[in-house]
Amino acid sequence: MSGPPHLEGEVVTSRRGFFWVVGDSVSLPQGTVPRGQIFVQWEAPETVTKPYPIVCIHGGGGQGTDYLGTPDGRPGWATFLVQAGYAVYVVDRPGHGRAPFHPDVLGPVGSLFPYELVSALMTNSAAGPMAHPTAHLHTQWPGSGDPEDPSVHQFAAGAGWLPADFAAANAMERKHGAALLDRIGPAILMSASAGAPMGWVTADARPSLVKAIVALEPIGPPFMVDPNLGVSLDWGVTASPMTFDPPAASPNELAKAQVNDWILQAEPPRKLAALAEIPIAILEAEASWFAHSCPATAAFLEQAGCRVDRIVLAEQGIHGNGHLMLMERNNREVLEPILRWLDDAVR
């Protein structure tokens, strides 16, 4: 299967469907069950005008519905991308959304994602205990952003949890992300937040099938360790191994150095040769806590031989956005510089 099947005899403005990427299985006392499958919902315009589809990878404890619509009921980026001529594949990462979770199969889960944390981290940081230097500029969330906000409830209702073993999750995403590309062919990867490692490891596994990567405020900074989230980016931007040149058998072989305010590789750095020819863009919102580490992630990738463009929304005249910019009031406006970048970067 090279892409969405053609629907004979139907007059529609778009074609759509879904499938699961299934590979691994595990034998339990009850029988054999799939392990780590990802759910894929696809849609394509009646006439596809862009050369490659976009695979949309959700963040953190979210799910693919983050791309389908907004908490206040407006169209999401998947709709806008189809309108722009792209075929779109929206995934639910293993154990999220419509990709079922069971601890006997995927292991224990991490912490919960309550309304209070959504508000403090993403929708109204200025009023809470996680205020940061640009939090007061956040104006685009479609509601008050408080824990009682109905829009917060709508978003949080679809949010789950990060896996307790983030490295194992990244390794699983690598395998099944590669299998997805083997099925659909060359594609552009669009990843968000803690879903960004799936983009990096999928590209590392299938570099010839990845035509560009757009990372929406990828989890960072490089080599971060967060015991509260259970996340340790031991390989720089991922928790599971990447292919470095010269090779590194373990993350301990990646020599580190303090560079300005961040930890990067020590000179001479190992290269991420598989990603070197893939255009990469990192999107940064004006009023997001997560944006502050994006320059360090870009620096790490550039140091490793990658070509990286930073799309800073404030520099594009787009103001007031937080980390969930793809769902905020001006979500269509936020997408516009990404579309322009893709037109320039992808041939």
| Active-site residue identified among 191, 193, 240, 288 | 193
CA distance 221 to 240: 16
Q: What are the residues whose beta carbons fall under 8 Å from the beta carbon of 120, sequence distance 6 or more?
A: 128, 129, 130
Whether the Cβ atoms of residue 280 and residue 313 lie closer than 8 Å to each other: no
Proportion of the chain in helix, strand, coil states, percent, rounded to 5: 35, 20, 45
Question: Does the annotation mark 193 as catalytic?
Answer: yes
CA 188 to chain CA centroid, nearest Å: 12
Q: 163 has which bridge partners?
A: 109
Whole-angstrom distance, CA of residue 198 vs CA of residue 204: 10
The pair of structure tokens assigned to 306 is 């990658």
Instruction: Let me know: does 76 contact 68? Beta carbons within 8 Å.
Output: yes
Residues annotated catalytic, as ranges: 193
